[in-house]
Structure 1
């Protein structure tokens, strides 16, 4: 009987995986078709087009989270540093975690598993910023069929790890985000004030009319550049030796260029920089989260972290020495040392073991309403039904 039960469970998990993959492929395809529809009908209205693209962004994370909830549900425990984040910034509303994060922010975190960014995107969704997310990705991902096209429409920034090219991509991508947020970018029908021979675009950074529509943003990045593994730990140790640093025990040594450049370029509009330390239950100190929660384990075995811990603190932009490379390097190294200490405590105690008098805590389910995706998934059906109706009236009915 036990063998029969195990076999039925395996069959159910495989069926669930197949349904999940089918839903993901259908969902992404429908979202890309929806993007194309918006591009067709809003070709002369950049603001409406951007609203449409942002709607598909919300729908995409809604789709991903709905799938993860279906195959491997998790809960989230958020702790916030009371000295930098007001108590009550995160709260429960109708059973769901909500927040009031700053509307123009950078979020950076340690990188453990491939789906880290999904949890951070979910975090932004608690402040209604799911449609205003920007992510820095490997350029190779740009070539993935359908997915790559959709991500380019999201204005995600793709880097090749060749600084001569990446510097221009970062400068223009982040510069446009900052300019749009201040009403001085292309979404306000403004043009760059000048460009240099390398192709870098420069936007007006002077004071602007506060009555103009300002676009919010939340930029997610991982200064470590990759997730923690046996291979990347060795590379990090080699990088530490090269830069005369001591390697950490529980996190990789961060690279300064991406985060520093992002803060410098977004500085005219940037309201807060959020430092997040992520811990996953079920991962021991001597283990690697990427192996424990590999995608096959998640989808086939339903193995997921029962509890995801996020400790969040905020930095005022003026307190970050981003204009001095040496000082910024020291600052970021100290941030990562504190992150390493937090992870050491997490592995020993199963939590960050923070003082409740100094840190606020809220716990809830990792979930998001599927309505954004369900809504946008109707666009292709309506569009193609209308095309069929027109074709029928014009050609078939004759």
Structure 2
């Protein structure tokens, strides 16, 4: 998926809720987000893949997490942003500088993708027989673009979000790493053309081309989930405030939970790291026969 704003991953939930299964999604995202109280801890518990955006530091953890998902046969939807960061004037300038050095076309609506992580993910999942298809997603905002969390806090939500999705089955993908890199770059060339037509064309409220996605699930189901979520989170905050004020046991529970999440991250690196270590200790230990063979 192209990374137009820092909030793209969250806006994609609307699409996944209608066409896929939101509960299966994992996201590859920067490691600093795991320390954010609340949702950062929840993403740790969901075993998201946190990276430092330095390949020499990320490769081993990336491989361990992907191997873990393949070993447990987890139905996996892994969201990655090959651009590496969201689209801003600063990141665009760096992308254009990279394009100039390498004799590539300068883009106006996307950044040049970094293919090292992308090809590594594809190869690991293919090796673990846990890759069914790649969904190439292009996102566009026709009216206002909320670039950061601050925009949302100020009430600057997008009026519309457009997604263009193409599904590429496993058997249609290139085999070699070099061909996969070229394949990824071609998808970004298509994104640039598609977004240029979207923003600059005479009809900028529709993507051109044929989108290959399954039919939408029941809109009634979507509306029920939406209103249940609104009701739950509207009640949750005042309810927790009341419980914290009146009951000491709730205050103790709250304090212990906060201390636990802060300490486990500083000592072990996060819940997803603990989960991976427990799996290796309980299920991946070499047997006695294997040790004798060694």
TM-score normalised to structure 1 length? 0.52
Aligned with 1:278 (options 139, 143, 155): 139
1:328 pairs with one of 180, 183, 186: 180
The structure-2 alpha-carbon separation of the partners of 1:387 and 1:304, relative to structure 1 and needing over 3 Å to count, comes to closer
**Which entry has the higher C-alpha Rg, 1 or 2?**
1
Cα 1:221–1:353, aligned 2, differ >3 Å: closer, same or farther?
closer
Higher RCO (C-alpha 8 Å, min separation 6): 1
CA displacement, residues 21-71 of structure 1 (integer Å, 9 cap, x when unaligned): xxxxxxxxxxxxxxxxxxxxxxxxxxxxxxxxxxxxxxxxxxxxxxxxxxx
RMSD of the alignment, in Å?
3.6
Structure 2 residue matching 1:236: 3-state secondary structure:
helix
| 1:338 correspondence with 2:190 | yes
Q: Does 1:371 align with 2:228?
A: yes
Partner of 2:87: 228
Return the offset for 1:128.
Answer: 5.4
Question: Relative to 1, partners in 2 of residues 1:138 and 1:221: Cα closer, same or farther, differing over 3 Å?
Answer: same
Partner of 1:162 in structure 2? Answer: 54
Counterpart pick for 2:153 among 299, 305, 308: 299
- Indicate yes or no: 2:10 matched with 1:118: yes
Q: Is the 8 A contact 2:146 2:156 kept in 1?
A: no
- Retained in 2: the 8 A contact 1:133–1:217? yes
109, 118, 136: which one pairs with 1:259? 118
Q: 1:250 aligns with which of 109, 114, 120?
A: 109
2:40 is paired with a residue of what secondary structure? helix
Higher helix proportion, which one? 2
Q: Which runs of 5+ in 2 are unaligned?
A: 251-294
Q: Is 2:163 the partner of 1:310? A: yes
2:143 matches 1:143: no
Corresponding pairs, count: 237
Q: 1:311 to 1:167 in 2, by over 3 A?
A: same
Cα shift at 1:326: 2.3
1:241 matched residue in structure 2:
100
Higher share of residues assigned strand: 1
Instruction: Sort the Cα spacing of 1:306 and 1:248 in 2 relative to 1 into closer, same or farther, 3 A.
Output: same
Normalised TM-score (structure 2): 0.69
The CA distance in 2 between the partners of 1:282 and 1:358, in whole Å, is 25
Q: 1:350 aligns with which of 204, 212, 219?
A: 204
Measure the CA separation in 1 of the matches of 2:22 and 2:213: 25
Moved more, 227-236 or 137-146: 137-146
User: 5+ unaligned residues in a row in structure 1: which ranges?
Assistant: 1-108, 182-214, 284-288, 390-398
* 1:83-98 aligned within 5 A: none
